[in-house]
Each structure stands twice: as structure tokens, then as C-alpha cells.
Amino acid sequence: MMRGHAVILALAATILATPLAAQEMEPERCPRLVAWNGGAELRPTPASYVIPVQAEAAGDLVTLTFVGHATFLIESPASVTIATDYNGVVRPSVVPRIATMNRAHTTHYTLYPDPAIEYVLHGWGENGVPAEHELTVDDVWLRNVTTNIRGGFGMSGTIQRDMNSMFVFEVAGLCILHLGHLHHELTDAHLKALGRIDVILAPVDGGYTLNIDDMIGVLDAINAPLVIPMHYFNGTSLARFLARLGETYAIERNATPTVQLSRSSLPPMRTVLVLPGF
């Protein structure tokens, strides 16, 4: 009986993580950076990725602000604004041109967005057809890779296929990944579809999305230079995550919720950058 139960659980885990077949094609942009080795051969020095504006051409800088929960405001050099997991409660101070959403819970979407938003991108599909987005707005190119979700909080609930989207934003050559409300580890097909990622916006609550071990597995598999935590509710859950990830990543804290990033200023070893708020 126990063996049969284990087989069922293993089968369910496989089904949950099965990606959309159409997403197995590797994208042409944000390709995987073969030369990146996670800083394994680099001396672990503090990262210097917060750059004064005068230090680089304005066209290289991407401004990222942690609004709260799973919402970030991304601002491109051409002033294109993007709000991730835009919802009816946690919103940026400006109306974004682009709003991405996911529907695991109501804190990740709204059915009544500000009508001034030019592009509203749902991370879920309709009538069994997965969401598929690829969009260029001035100097921003974005796309989505779908994952499956559970039908409720915690580990219970039925599996809903392709109802979460991981959104990839290419801005000034920087590839930023928002994991959304990720509920399972990623397959090789997911990783191939994502391509090279420079910055991961990762939920680290330890339970509502993924447990700490599985989330660390996802981050290690993607192997991006910079991870920015989100969706951690309180300092205790964040501290647990940092304690574990601090074994293999450098940990940095920013004084404000806003940071300026560029490809050339990525840290020399894998780094977690904590922005104030939750």
C-alpha cells in the first residue's frame, strides 16, 4: 500500500512539472550564457552592481523597485515601465505600460486593472489553451514560459496545467526572470525555454510556492548571477532562506527598495540581493 502511494506521488510530481511541448524550442534572444560558471573559479569578492548613473551610459541601466509581495516595477532606459504580478492591492506608484499577472491567488492578479495600462498580460490561458506572450515595446522584449499550479494553498489541491507563467524580460541586454507563483521544480525543457537568465525574482516563502530545498534546486538549475527574493511575508521566512542559500551564494542587502542594474555590473559570484519590504 505504501509503495503504491509512493508511485502515485511520483507520478503526480511528474505531471505537475510537465511543460508545454511548444515551449521546448530554445528562444533566439536571451540565449544561455555558456561562459557563466556560477563564479566557481572567481575569487568571492563583494558585488558592485549598484552603479551611479554617471558611471555608465544611461542606455545600460535598468531600474528595479520592489513594490511588495510579488510585484516589482521594472523601468527600462527608454522609460518603459513594467509591473509584475500586478494586483488590486500592491501596486506601484505609477501606472505601468505593461502589467503581467498570475492567478494562483488574488494577490497576484486583478480582473479590474487600471484602464490606462497599455498591455495587460495574463499568465494563465483560457479554455485549456495556455497563455503565450511575446511582445516588444520600445527597448523591452518579453515572453512567458508556463508552469502548472496546485488548486489550493499548500501541497493539496488538483493540478491545473499551464496556469502560471514565468515571465522573461530582456531590457538593455539584461535578462530578468520573474518566477511568478512557481509550484514545482523545472524540467530540462523549461530551462531550455528560459535560456540565459541574469536576474531571478524568486518567491522564497518556503511553502505556499516551493519549499526551500526545491527553490534552491530551481535557482541552482537556472544558475543566474543575481537572485532577488520576493513573496516571503516576514523576516523569519526570509532569514531561513538566506541561511540556506548563504552556504553557496554571497548575501547583500540594499538600503532602499530600488536598485539599478546592468549586464556589465552583474556580480562576479552568485549573489542574493535583498531589497527592503515583503
Q: Tell me the pLDDT tens digit for each residue of 124-167.
A: 988 889 999 999 999 999 999 998 887 654 445 677 887 889 99
Q: Tell me the pLDDT tens digit for each residue of 223-236.
A: 999 999 987 877 78
Beta bridge partners of 98: 82, 119
Amino acid at 187: T
Q: How far apart are CA 253 and CA 256, in angstroms?
A: 9
Beta bridge partners of 104: none
Amino acid at 84: T
Report for 34-43, 48-57, 148-157, 161-170: range of highest mean pLDDT: 161-170
Q: Tell me the pLDDT tens digit for each residue of 104-125.
A: 778 888 999 999 999 999 999 8
- Residues 6 or more apart whose CB falls under 8 angstroms from that of 260 comprise 50, 51, 53, 61, 62, 63, 64
SS3 category, 23? helix
Beta bridge partners of 199: 176, 226
Report all structural domains of the chain as residue ranges with CATH numbers, in order of start. Answer: 50-274 (3.60.15.10)
Say if CB 63 and CB 45 are below 8 A apart: no
Residue 254 exposure: Cα atoms within 13 Å on the Cβ side = 24
pLDDT at position 271 = 97
pTM, 2 dp: 0.80
SS3 category, 132? coil
